[in-house]
Amino acid sequence: MHGVRLTLAYDGSAFCGWARQPGQRTVQGVVETAIAAMAGVEVDLRGASRTDAGVHAEGQEAAFDSPREIPPHGWLRGLNASLPDDVAVVRAHVCEPGYSPRFDASEKTYRYLVLPGDQRAPLLHGRVWFLGPKRRHSAGRRAGSGIHAWLDLDAMREAAAHCLGTHDFRAF
């Protein structure tokens, strides 16, 4: 068997999350289908972590074992040719058979985008939390149009300080 490690990017809008689920469109499911077409056998794609429905990723790590030896650029091009437009292989590497990126992950970054303002940004629909005029902070009604007009940044910084540090999220 030959180990292959992939870095994936995807728009999660039309997916029911990462993990394979019967009768549901998932990232793992569509990537496994594309890999099986190239490898000639069904594979088990092992992800570094799972994402919920609607969550996007820019650098999701995953690995699988294949009986076929295909160079990394072959996996990259071949998979991207058959994957749907909302998933792409960004990088492919050789790895040890059985490698699991889950046990190699050292950090995860989650980014939440907030758009304060009076007007929506249609090209960012589904990618940002639009605050809009109805969510303007009460103090901001007098303060103008800056970020402080919508958010109490001092209270947010104080609350975020409780999240700093190393935490064990295995139970989740």
How far is residue 151's CA from residue 107's CA, in Å, rounded to a whole number?
28
Task: Please enumerate, as own/partner, the contacts of 147-154 that have beta carbons within 8 Å and a separation of 24 or more.
Answer: 147/116, 149/116, 150/114, 150/116, 151/114, 151/116
Residue corresponding to tokens 């792409």 = 88
Q: Which of 52, 65, 85, 118 is catalytic?
A: 52
Distance of alpha carbon 8 from alpha carbon 89, whole angstroms: 5
**Cβ burial, residue 52 (10 Å; 0-12/13-18/19+):** exposed
Do 89 and 120 form a contact (C-beta atoms < 8 A)? no
Q: How far apart are CA 129 and CA 120, in angstroms?
A: 10
154 part of the active site: no
Residues belonging to the active site:
52
